[in-house]
């Protein structure tokens, strides 16, 4: 029996996670997979109900589940809360408490969506990369942190970039293992020319790389990497990087892939994982049936693959999504008025994927 926790969250999170779960239920039911899905509030929705972005009960549910499906959290309503109570804290707590240190963010362009990318066709065509972002360390969690009062009446804001050898080793191994199943190239991204912490990062990654003589390892500074991502996205295979650099570079990579609404992610510790679209809660279009559910649907495919070794079912979802795109279904974020395309809402997009699975 597969036990899943569902945290749809806020804004379009509830809409896209809803479609992802519909797809999953259809697939499980039609393949006689036994499962149960238990749902709870997180983010702003949880704050409104319990005055906390995530409750002990929700955390327990996540810990006991085999995998977690996550929508998105946040919105203007909760932006002025203290940082500890903000919706984003739910996400960070789940990542940290479940020790989901490996965040996998693939970015691949569908030929049909090349026009949705702001980049030139010949630059983006054929792009297929995997960003491996360290997710439970670095400046997101380092101590000391906070805003402190100085004697002269000024304030001082502090965050700390910290990585230990172990933390770097385990994420590097993940990147090299993934590269082995792909084009056998790892690019480690750091700022080793300025930050000692990432100097250590570079040398530890190199050490791990010695155990993978069949994989080519190169290094790049993050500023250069952000330029090369736009200049020659095709050249990237696996990128391994720190928590914050990975956050930034993965948003950038979404423009190569056409829309952030297309990009899924997995946050892993072994088989245990949390699966979510990389986009946020998009309050501006929430509740209007406009959001693209593809990222959430593809996240569920990642779950089948990484948590349950159900590669065949994962491929069914991926193929169905590809077919739906080929057949011209477009949510607003990827709609370009091209011949043979049809502007659809969140629900119709989700249903189109299920109809494809029925064939
Ligand atoms: C992401 C998001 C989160 C992050 C926010 C919502 C805390 O931007 O998953 O990329 O910074 O990690
Ligand atoms: Mg981000």
| pLDDT value for 198 | 98
**140 assigned to active site:** yes
Non-local CB neighbours of 55 within 8 Å, separated by 6+ positions: 40, 41, 46
Q: Which residue has the tokens 């030139």?
A: 120
Output the pLDDT for position 154: 98
Q: Ligand 2 centre from 307 Cα, in Å?
A: 23
Residue 18: C-alpha distances to residues 11, 280, 318, 327 (Å): 12, 15, 18, 22
Three-class SS of residue 278? Answer: coil
In whole angstroms, what is the distance from residue 278 CA to residue 151 CA? 41
User: pLDDT value at position 40?
Assistant: 98
Structure confidence at residue 151 (pLDDT):
97
**Which residues are found with C-beta within 5 Å of the ion, ligand 2?**
247
CA distance 38 to 205: 39
Query: 1-105+258-359: what CATH class?
Result: alpha beta
Pairing of strands 272-277, 264-269: antiparallel
Atom of ligand 1 nearest to the CA of 92: 7
Q: Is 309 a catalytic residue?
A: no
What is the structure's pLDDT at 337?
A: 82
Burial grade of 259 (CB within 10 A; 0-12, 13-18, 19 or more): buried
Closest CA relative to residue 132, chosen from 160, 89, 170: 170
* Six-digit token string for 99: 């020790």
- Is 278 a pocket residue for ligand 1 (Cβ < 6 Å)? yes
Chosen CATH of 118-256 out of 3.40.920.10, 3.40.718.10, 3.40.50.1000, 3.40.50.150: 3.40.718.10
Residue 207 and residue 173: Cα distance in Å, rounded? 10
Please tell me what DSSP assigns to residue 101. -
Q: What is the DSSP letter of 1?
A: -
| Helix (H) and strand (E) counts in the chain | 12, 14
Partner residues linked to 7 by β-bridges = 70
Domain boundaries for CATH 3.40.718.10 within the chain: 1-105+258-359, 118-256
Q: Are 277 and 299 in contact (CB under 8 A)?
A: yes
Other C-beta atoms lying within 10 Å of the C-beta of residue 153: 6
Token pair recorded at residue 164: 């230990």
Note the pLDDT of residue 338: 83
Cα(297) to ligand 1 centroid in Å equals 19
Give the torsion sign (CA, 11, 276, 98, 310): positive
Residue 118 φ/ψ, nearest 5 degrees: -70, -5
Residue from 10, 44, 53, 91 whose mutation best tests the ligand 1 pocket (most atoms within 8 A of CB): 91
163 is catalytic: no
Q: Using the mean position of ligand 2's atoms as its centre, give its distance from the Cα of residue 17 in Å.
A: 18
Q: pLDDT at position 351, please?
A: 98
Please state the pTM of the whole predicted model: 0.95
Give me the pLDDT at residue 298, please. Answer: 98
Per-residue pLDDT of the chain (359 residues; tens, 9 = 90+): 999 999 999 999 999 999 999 999 999 999 999 999 999 999 999 999 999 999 999 999 999 999 999 999 999 999 999 999 999 999 999 999 999 999 999 999 999 999 888 999 999 999 999 999 999 999 999 999 999 999 999 999 999 999 999 999 999 999 999 999 999 999 999 999 999 999 999 999 999 999 999 999 999 999 999 999 999 999 999 999 999 999 999 999 998 888 899 999 999 999 999 999 999 999 999 999 999 999 999 999 999 999 999 999 999 999 999 999 999 999 999 998 888 999 999 999 999 999 999 99
């Amino acid at each position: 029996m597969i036990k899943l926790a569902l945290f749809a969250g806020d804004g379009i999170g509830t809409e896209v996670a809803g479609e992802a779960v519909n797809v999953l239920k259809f697939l499980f039911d039609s393949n006689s997979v036994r499962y149960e899905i238990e749902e709870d509030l997180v983010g702003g929705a949880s704050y409104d109900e319990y005055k906390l972005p995530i409750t002990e009960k929700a955390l327990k549910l996540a810990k006991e589940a085999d995998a977690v499906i996550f929508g998105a959290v946040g919105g203007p309503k909760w932006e002025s809360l203290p940082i500890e109570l903000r919706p984003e804290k739910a996400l960070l707590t789940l990542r940290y408490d479940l020790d989901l240190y490996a965040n996998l963010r693939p970015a691949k362009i569908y030929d049909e969506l090349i026009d949705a990318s702001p980049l030139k066709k010949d630059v983006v065509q054929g792009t297929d990369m995997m960003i491996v972002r360290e997710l439970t360390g670095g400046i997101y969690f380092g101590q000391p942190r906070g805003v402190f009062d100085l004697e002269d009446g000024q304030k001082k804001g502090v965050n700390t970039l910290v990585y230990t050898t172990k933390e770097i080793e385990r994420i590097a191994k993940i990147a090299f293992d993934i590269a082995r199943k792909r084009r056998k190239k790892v690019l480690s991204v750091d700022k080793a020319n300025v930050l000692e912490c990432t100097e250590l990062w570079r040398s530890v990654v190199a050490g791990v790389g010695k155990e993978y003589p069949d994989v080519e390892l190169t290094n790049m500074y993050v500023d250069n990497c952000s330029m090369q991502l736009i200049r020659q996205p095709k050249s990237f295979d696996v990128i391994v990087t720190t928590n914050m650099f990975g956050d930034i570079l993965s948003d950038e990579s979404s423009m190569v892939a056409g829309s952030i609404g297309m990009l899924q992610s997995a946050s892993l510790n072994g088989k245990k994982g949390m699966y979510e679209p990389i986009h946020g809660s998009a309050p501006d279009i929430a509740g209007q049936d406009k959001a693209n559910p593809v990222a959430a649907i593809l996240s569920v495919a990642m779950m089948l693959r990484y948590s349950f070794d159900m590669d065949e079912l994962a491929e069914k979802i991926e193929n169905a999504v590809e077919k739906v795109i080929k057949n011209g279904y477009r949510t607003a974020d990827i709609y370009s008025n091209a011949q043979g395309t049809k502007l659809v809402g969140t629900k119709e997009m989700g249903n189109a994927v299920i109809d494809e699975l029925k064939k």
